[in-house]
Amino acid sequence: MKHVWMILALGVTLTGMNNATAHVDQPAKPAATAKSTDDPFLWLEDIRGTRSMDWVKQQNALSTKHFVDNAEFASTRDSILEVLDSDARIPYVNRMGSHLYNFWRDKTHPRGVWRRTTLEEYRKAEPQWEVLLDIDALNKAEGKRWVYKGAQCLKPAFERCLISLSPDGGDATVVREFSIPHKAFVKGGFELPVAKSQVGWIDEDTIYVGTDFGPGSMTESSYPRIVKQWKRGTPLSVAAAVHEGKPTDLAISAYHDRTPGYERDFVSVAKDFFHSELYQRSGDKLTRINVPTDADADAHREWLLVRIRSPWTVDGTTYPSGALLATQFDSFMAGKPHFTVLFQPDAHTSLDSYAWTRHHLILNLMDDVKSQLEVLTPPLMATPSGDWKREAMPGAPAMSTISVVDTDPDHSDEYWLDVTSFLTPSSLERGVLGSAAAQTIKQEPAFFDAAKFSVSQHFVNSKDGTRVPYFEIAPKDIQLDGSNRTLLYGYGGFEVSLQPHYSGSIGRAWLARGGVYVIANIRGGGEYGPQWHQAALKANRPRAYEDFAAVAEDLVKRGVTSAKHLGAEGGSNGGLLMGNMLTMYPQLFGAIACEVPLLDMKRYIHLSAGASWMAEYGNPDTDDWNFIKTFSPYQNVSKEVHYPPVLFYTTTSDDRVGPVQARKMAARMQAQGHPDVWFYENLEGGHGAGADNQQSAHMHAMAYDFLWDQLK
């Protein structure tokens, strides 16, 4: 099972191709935790302190006056909001029993409604939905500003759920038990206060819980260090300890597999984002599932799948990095593994993801960052060492992405696919393997005139000769004279792949204006498997920045744009990318938007959840600082260098990266006398930078208008 805490990676956020979405933020530890005393802006690390928030309000007022208080901004924002609030969007669903569940936000329900319907009803153009929980009505009744963060429901009945609600859009949530038949929270049910909790059902009266149990119960990364088993009707204080990790671990969690006939319990010890140990729990005994710590192990029915990040030798056979292996679970635990290679990468192809149905396994592959699907059928129990049958699923349109949205692995071979590309609105398809071919159930409307544009894929050699791909969406009649306003987007970290994806917001706010949009598939991502990611880890992090710079230079060389017309944008880890484009390659860009960024690499492990990313960047409190300092924008910005205009934005409630990184960078650049350094901080929204569609549209519009105006 891919580790639950991987969802808390820095993540692709906000104005990229995807719209994004412990303790409540506390002031950072005093400056004594830093070895350096030459930082005059440590006071901005007091997240909600009076002096810090006065500075934020002043900056917000300046940015609002300059970018927001005009008709152009209102038009851009309203155009994006129309996309985000459109009733014609696809209401994506997941199956739980006989119903399809959906969470939906629109103009009438800005914080959203959790609802369900039947397949028969969902097929209709306008389905009738049964509303289970109205977040806006809940907020009105309780005087809160809750942001819905998901629900875990107990199968097979799916009548009791554990619902997570954030008070401000951050990762820290309350957890409250909810009854679907009564459409109400359960009085006296399971409930946890605000924390970065991990919970999961064991049975109707028992759950696993990892939360803030008090001092010392959270890791240095701000996630649970202790997981317990909690019985209904008993105080949390007497919950039985299952496992305690070390303060330096990333997180500890446990889960119960309720698959009929294969009920098992597991404990996961995440050492960092790419190393973990998985144990099977039987009573009080934990038995290690002995795969490499950098591999993902997934037990499903009689099978164990192992996805490896580095070469692994077993019984004289070496399996390559990026391979997916299968063996019988019981045989493996008995020390008698017999592996079948389900996927082996090559120079162009990697495994993006996989999904089980009742009798089959769907592999989602990337061939030069474009989707392919395969269906594998395991041998029968009577012949467990037999061959897996393999066949291709119908291919996607050119330059497209197919994602498996949902399956029903306990009961059927039903599958749901999302098919999308840069210029083709997403479609939602449903099929049943072996019987019914996929049919389009829902189709997203077109939000801009795609007939005016074309998509192409290009490759450029980076500084060290590595071949780096990028996608370009441009007007069909583009003149290659260097005059086109071009926006280059990138991420390059945490194995995140940037694949073709339709965005009505980008189409309206950038393409429809005549702009060119470019996605750079730089190292650090997962486009070509683990090796592509590992090529930009720690001391090799600058390879990602060299790749992005190479794409920028190639766009100029090909005549698509010129430096003064080329903008760059990225968020989170992509914000660190932007910070390094600013400090390393300022001559290549006419403007930069740096969103919910990581920038102070000297202090990052002491800020918010920063300690959890040391496997990606290194530990600046050790000799790693010798290489980290080469890509720490906050330390490398200089008053002697001319920088392009830059907009930093973040959120007060971001308890993952935190707002202090962007605050300090903007303050330092302004103090050095650099013109055109802008800052904006939204109060809500967490790491996604928007608690509702209105806030998201505001942030999108600010970035796009800033870049468009600066690149003219």
With 0-12 / 13-18 / 19 or more C-beta atoms within 10 angstroms meaning exposed / middle / buried, residue 285 is: exposed
- Report DSSP letters for 458-472, one per residue: EEEE-TTS-EEEEEE
For the chain, the maximum distance between any two Cα atoms, rounded to a whole number of angstroms, is 74
Q: Helix 660-671 vs helix 50-63: angle between axes, to the nearest 10 degrees? A: 70
H helical segments located in 86-143:
119-122, 135-142
Give phi and psi for 461, each to the nearest 5: -85, 125
Q: Of 565, 687, 698, 700, which residue is the catalytic one? A: 687
Considering 52, 572, 608, 632, which one is annotated as catalytic? Answer: 572
Beta-carbon contacts of residue 133 (< 8 Å; ≥ 6 apart):
113, 114, 148, 163, 178, 183
Pairing of strands 94-96, 99-104: antiparallel
Going along 315-413, which residue ranges are E strands? 317-319, 324-328, 340-343, 349-356, 361-367, 370-377, 389-392, 400-407
Residue 260: asked if its preceding bond is cis (omega within 30°), the reply is: no
CA distance linking residue 485 with residue 487, whole number of Å = 7
Name the DSSP class of 389.
Answer: E
d(CA 429, CA 239): 44
**Kind of pairing, strands 251-257 and 264-272?**
antiparallel
Rg of the chain taking only CA atoms, in angstroms: 25
483 is catalytic: no
Phi-psi map region of 443: left, alpha, beta (phi>0 left; psi -120 to 50 alpha)? beta
DSSP 68: I
Reading the block at residue 218, the tokens are 């959270």
* Catalytic residue list contains 458: no
Tokens encoding 34:
């830093």
- In this structure, what DSSP letter does residue 65 have? I
Please give the Cα distance from 14 to 220 (Å, whole number).
Answer: 27
Residues 6+ apart with CB under 8 A from 195: 22, 23, 172, 173, 211, 212
Q: How many CB atoms lie within 10 A of CB 310?
A: 16
Which stretches of 593-639 are DSSP H helices?
614-617, 625-628, 633-636
- Which helix (DSSP H) or strand (DSSP E) does residue 298 occupy? strand 296-300
- The answer to whether the Cα torsion of 238, 243, 245, 251 is positive or negative is negative
* CA-wise closest residue to 711 among 531, 545, 484, 498: 484
Residues 522 and 546: beta-carbon distance below 8 Å: no
Estimate to the nearest angstrom the gap between the alpha carbon of 461 and the chain centroid.
28
* Catalytically active residues, by annotation: 572, 687
